């Protein structure tokens, strides 16, 4: 259970302990405060008291965990966590929040279930100067579209022939003021015209250690089956810039996992997915923050 929580929240062991402690202390504080407030009234401990107590605890809990999170050093985590909850229940809208002039805007290109897209959305929901403002998808029924809709992110469906004709969709990207394109399980090759417009600004993640097991047709289980068939001892992920060739652009980051004798394509895929979810949002965040810092230094 704890391993799943670490992966879901993208935190390390000690931070997980502090987060769970904040949840526990925050719950205790709001429960205690709720009882004290009701003790100031003449209401008997009956059904009405229970209803009012639940109502008070619900109102007090966000404030309690925020207050407790400050001395435990978890304020930014709970700020992002509570914002996600409020967005989910419609209390606030992500689309209603104006972006600052210096905000870096991302377009995520995805084709399928959107697990990496979800991790990216979760991560950048708590980053004030980097925002995902557009999802581009080539499949009308893809699950990732539902994910984008749930987070109030506009979706642009694209057609194959039009996409490969070059820069037809460029006006949409310009209208959204896109700075970077992030590929998250996007299976089409990016046209050279688009790469020329976004040099070193299109980033992909590949489920193997490039330059091995890359190229046309090397995606998903085809990659993992090839790795196992060749009796490799390790596999992993490669985050790289996109150029005119499949899986060829300059490597930004790699992370590895072992390939055991008992591994199947499915079990290896699970290992690689963990690496993807753990590293992809963080690497992109650091890359963009570094680029912003360098640009600021050169302009000063």
Residue 282 sits in the same domain as residue 151: yes
pLDDT given at position 28: 93
Check whether residue 109 and residue 188 sit in a common domain. yes
Could you count the other beta carbons within 10 Å of the beta carbon of residue 251?
13
Domain co-membership, 36 together with 154? no
129-155 confidence digits (pLDDT tens): 899 999 999 998 899 999 999 898 999
Do 45 and 120 belong together in one domain? no
Same domain, 83 and 209: no
Establish if 95 belongs to a structural domain: no
Q: Are 238 and 248 in contact (CB under 8 A)?
A: no
DSSP assignment string, 160-204: HHHHHTSSTTHHHHHHTT--EEEESS--SPPPHHHHHHSTT-EEE
Q: Report the distance separating Cα 248 and Cα 240, nearest Å.
A: 8
94 in a structural domain: no
Q: Which domain holds residue 69?
A: 2-88
* 32-to-21, 25, 37, 56, 185 alpha-carbon distances in Å: 16, 10, 9, 11, 47
Question: Which tens digits make up the pLDDT trace of 235-286?
Answer: 999 999 999 888 899 999 999 999 999 999 999 999 999 999 999 999 999 9
Number of compact structural domains in the chain: 2
Q: What is the mean pLDDT of residues 4-25?
A: 77
Is residue 129 in a domain?
Answer: yes
pLDDT digits (tens, 9 = 90+) for 21-41: 999 999 999 999 989 999 888
Residue 25 lies in a domain: yes
Euclidean distance between CA atoms 199 and 92, whole angstroms: 36
Domain finish residue from 21, 55, 88: 88
For residue 88, what pLDDT band results from cuts at 50, 70 and 90?
low
Catalytic residue annotation: 206
The helix, strand and coil proportions of the chain, stated in percent and rounded to the nearest 5, come to 50, 15, 35
User: Within this chain, do residues 82 and 111 fall inside the same structural domain, yes or no?
Assistant: no
Residue 232 shares a structural domain with residue 115: yes
Q: Is the domain of 161 the same as that of 232? A: yes
- Boundary (domain end) residue, out of 88, 120, 141: 88
User: Do both 131 and 184 map to the same domain?
Assistant: yes
- 274 and 222 in one domain? yes
- Residue 131 neighbours by CB under 8 Å, 6+ apart: 99, 103, 104, 105, 106, 124
Same domain, residue pair 123 and 242: yes
| CATH number of the domain residue 227 falls in | 3.40.50.170
């Amino acid at each position: 259970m704890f391993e799943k929580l670490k992966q879901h929240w993208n935190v390390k062991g000690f931070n997980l302990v502090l987060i769970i402690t904040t949840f526990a202390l925050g719950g205790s504080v709001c429960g205690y405060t709720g009882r004290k407030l009701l003790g100031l009234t003449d209401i008997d401990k009956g059904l009405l008291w229970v209803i009012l107590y639940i109502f008070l605890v619900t109102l007090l809990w966000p404030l309690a965990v925020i207050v407790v999170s400050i001395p435990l050093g978890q304020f930014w985590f709970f700020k992002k966590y509570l914002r996600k909850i409020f967005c989910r229940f419609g209390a606030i809208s992500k689309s209603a929040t104006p972006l600052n002039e210096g905000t870096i805007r991302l377009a995520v290109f995805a084709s399928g279930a959107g697990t990496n897209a979800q991790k990216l959305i979760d991560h950048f929901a708590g980053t004030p100067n980097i925002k995902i403002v557009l999802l581009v998808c080539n499949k009308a029924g893809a699950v990732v579209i539902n994910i984008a809709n749930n987070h109030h992110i506009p979706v642009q469906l694209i057609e194959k022939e039009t996409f490969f004709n070059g820069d037809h969709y460029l006006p949409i990207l310009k209208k959204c003021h896109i700075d970077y394109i992030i590929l998250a399980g996007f299976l089409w090759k990016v046209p050279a015209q688009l790469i020329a417009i976004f040099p070193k600004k299109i980033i992909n993640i590949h489920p193997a250690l490039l330059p091995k097991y890359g190229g046309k047709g090397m995606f998903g289980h085809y990659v993992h089956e090839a790795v196992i068939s060749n009796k490799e001892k390790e596999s992993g992920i490669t985050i790289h810039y996109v150029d005119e060739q499949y899986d060829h652009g300059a490597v930004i980051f790699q992370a590895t996992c072992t390939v055991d004798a008992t591994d199947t394509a499915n079990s290896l895929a699970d290992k690689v997915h963990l690496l993807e979810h753990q590293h992809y949002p963080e690497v992109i965040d650091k890359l963009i923050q570094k680029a912003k810092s360098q640009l600021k230094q050169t302009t000063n």
